[in-house]
Amino acid sequence: MMTLVRNRRTVHWGLMWVSIVLCIAFPAQAATIYVGNQGSNSLSVINTQTKEVTATIPLSSKKPHNLVASADGKYLYIANVGSHDVVVFDIAANREVVSIPAGTKTHGVSVTPDGQYLYTANVGANTVSIISLAEQKVIETIPVGKKPMLTVFSPDGHYAYVSNGGSADVTVIDTWERKTVAEVFAGKDAMGIAITPSGGELWVTEGAEDQVSIISTATNTVVADMTLGREAHGLAMTRDGKLVAVANRGNDTVSFVDVLRRTTIATVSVGKRPDIPVFTPDGKELYVTSRDTETVEVIDVATYTVIASIPVGKDPHGIVVLP
């Protein structure tokens, strides 16, 4: 019996040392966060390991709002509500490449899965602009609902879904035909939007309803609603589609929701007027812009606690992460 206990202890300590060695040999890789600062017309760059701003880059555009990375991770596309355009930013060269005119108050920008086109949601024009990246110009303009905010694509790129804050609905666009094929009622102030990896569900926030709606893409109907914090706004989903985070601007919280069970796991107090969240690639941390504190707040997903508050520029809004 004594020999058995000793052997178990030996195995236990052996496994602990293996874990320690693995952690030392394979440290977590740093990701890079980019933040658009509307009030200072700049881009803040954050290292996720040090939780520090490594650079602040002035932009030629006005009021950088939302931003997204190219499919190959070489460029950032920055939508600007003040200058009604999209700035293409070369990450390696650390400079702007070109500014592409879009629609009035260019609010959101998304890249098609094939990496060839940008779709911009133009909140001041009630349209979506399609930009050819090869030609660096708008090649099509599609009318949508009122105050379009953001766009997300089906995994195969066949459909684009546009959240419309003013008309409380989601416009469905056939990207192959480049025309609207459906309007799905969601709720007042529809804004944050994400699609599950399978493409089967859309998750959409409605700030005036304090909720998130779940839409079946097979039927284009709302199949469930969940009440969250006040003025539910920005929304992020982990890459595996298991967890959603929603920034509630009205009561300064972030809600974490189990996608499969459709239940709220945790509600975390964070900053002041939290706006747009993004998960790190491994899903272990959430970064969210806090507009009134001019910071990016960092939440540890394992413990659902705020572990850092990083000062950035004035009125930070859009945020994106690169490995």
Asked whether residue 106 is assigned to any structural domain, the reply reads no
- CB of 161 within 8 A of CB of 201? no
**Full domain range(s) for residue 295:** 235-323
Residue 311 domain-assigned? yes
Q: How many domains does the chain have?
A: 1
Reported as half-sphere exposure (CB side, CA atoms, 13 A), residue 134 has a value of 4
In a domain, 92, yes or no: no
Express each pLDDT in 48-89 by its tens digit.
999 999 999 999 999 999 999 999 999 999 999 999 999 999
CA triple 70-274-304, angle to 5 deg: 90
Please tell me the predicted confidence (pLDDT) of residue 30: 84
Confidence at 168, pLDDT banded by 50, 70, 90: very high
What percent of the chain shows pLDDT beyond 90? Answer: 90
Is the residue at 256 inside a domain?
yes
Give the Cα separation of 106 and 280 in Å (integer).
26
The answer to whether residues 108 and 149 touch, using CB atoms and an 8 Å cutoff, is yes
Segment 1-11 shows an average pLDDT of: 38
* Of 266, 195, 200, 277, nearest in space to 228 by CA: 266
In a domain, residue 242? The reply is yes
CATH of the domain at 291: 2.40.10.480
Element holding 33 (H helix, E strand)? strand 32-37
**Mean pLDDT, all residues of the chain:** 92
Q: What are phi and psi of 191, to 5 degrees?
A: -145, -85
State mean pLDDT over 223-230: 97
